Amino acid sequence: MTKLVSKWNYPTTVRFGAGRIEELPEVLASVGIKRPLFVTDPGLAKLPVVASTLKILDGAKIKYGVFSDVKPNPVESNLTAGIEAFRKGKHDGVIAFGGGSALDLGKLIAFQAGQTRPVWDFEDIGDWWTRADASQIVPIVAVPTTAGTGSEVGRAGVITHEASHTKKVIFHPKMLPAVVIADPELTVGMPPFITAGTGMDALAHCLEAYCAPGYHPMADGIAVEGVRLVFENLPKAFENGKDIVARAHMMSAAAMGATAFQKGLGAIHSLSHPIGALYDTHHGMTNAVFMPYVLAFNRDAIEGKIERLAAYCGIRGGFDGFAKAVMKLRKQLKVPHALPGLIKGLDMDKKRKTLIADMAIVDPTAGGNPVKLTKKGALALLEHALAGEV
């Protein structure tokens, strides 16, 4: 019984439902933001969804700035430019609006703008977060426009260290957004590829959190329902982007995955991170490619848990049935079966494979894998994902 010891944290206030973006001015006032910096990505900034949201701010006579220099995998130069915009505009808070990249960078700007130490000093290692001056972290309102990362309910941001080509997780409890507006109408314009990739990211979060070792029954319960919601609703959202009910359920699943993965992630993510950093691939789609290979790798440690999960989701056949359901879902969503289908012209030599394996085993998510991820294991998983052999 002494092993039944853990620490549990759960997210913030979420205003969930179609049309709730209209409440943005009220939400800003509730957290004391008078002059927000609106952080989004360059593609989204050109779309009507941003224009209509800014119109809401204009109607409320709220002065704001817009920053959209955000790469799909944000880097330090994006953060530096964002901080400069924040300070120049004398902003007092951040609206993080978009997918995982914009949400993460918005949170990082709000966190880092008032700090004197470099951002790398706050990597999610031990108690490094205590180095930050918490009084200088400004409030964040998060507005997701995709249903995948769940960054809107997270206390961390991911940023790529360009010199080492590694993704770093920066953590502080006050990076948790003060309020989330989860409005599924904002996701209606997502193209099918992004719907698929972000949705599979949500599935990876729920699945790996559920399989991670440790005692966290609340996270397990949330993860299991998140998996069910993805299987039932992601194909619908992919086939009909205007299916607002399916979109709403996927927004829930995304937030559930990020809530659950405080328990841990695993080899899907630890392999996906170096691939994303080196090849700039879509994170969720990369997770989707690795998923069946990691499931097979972990089978001996998770078979009983997956049998229970399959039964809850109405999937027959235990572990094998669940694995087949994952493969079927990937096919429905047009997920490449192997890495060469994801990365055009991929030619990975032994040196590059070794580098990826070395990066994977030290990635902060590797420790949550139910089977210890060694260099040999990481190389084997990579070879399977390259050859398409489950």
Helices marked H in the chain — which ranges?
24-30, 42-45, 48-59, 76-88, 100-112, 192-211, 217-239, 244-260, 267-279, 283-297, 299-312, 318-332, 339-342, 350-362, 375-387
Distance CA 267, CA 372 (A): 9
Domains of the chain by residue range: 13-187, 192-387
Amino acid letter, 327: M
Q: Please say whether the beta carbons of 377 and 301 come within 8 A.
A: no
Work out whether strand 156-161 and strand 166-171 pair parallel, antiparallel, or are unpaired.
Answer: antiparallel
The token pair at 179 is 């309020």
Q: For residue 242, what are the contacts with CB-CB under 8 A and spacing of at least 6?
A: 188
What was the pLDDT predicted at 383?
Answer: 98
| Tens digit of each residue's pLDDT (9 = 90 or more) over 103-151 | 999 999 999 999 999 999 999 999 999 999 999 999 999 999 999 899 9
Distance CA 195, CA 185 (A): 13
Distance CA 208, CA 268 (A): 8
Q: Which residues pair with 16 in a beta bridge?
A: 182
Q: Please say whether the beta carbons of 92 and 34 come within 8 A.
A: yes
Handedness of CA 226, 155, 112, 360 (dihedral sign): negative
328-349 b/e (C-beta count within 10 Å ≥ 16 → b): ebbeebebbbbbbebbeeeebe
Q: What is the CATH number of domain 192-387?
A: 1.20.1090.10
The DSSP string of 22-43 is GGHHHHHHHTT-SSEEEE--HH
Over its C-alpha atoms, the chain yields an Rg (Å, rounded) of: 20
Average pLDDT across each block of 10 residues of the chain; the chain has 390 residues. List them in order: 68 93 98 98 94 98 97 92 98 96 97 97 94 97 95 93 86 96 93 96 98 94 98 98 96 96 96 93 96 98 98 98 98 98 94 97 95 98 97
Backbone angles phi, psi at 95, to 5 degrees: -100, 110
What was the pLDDT predicted at 1?
Answer: 41
Q: Please say whether the beta carbons of 378 and 360 come within 8 A.
A: yes
Arch. (CATH architecture) of 13-187: 3-Layer(aba) Sandwich (3.40)
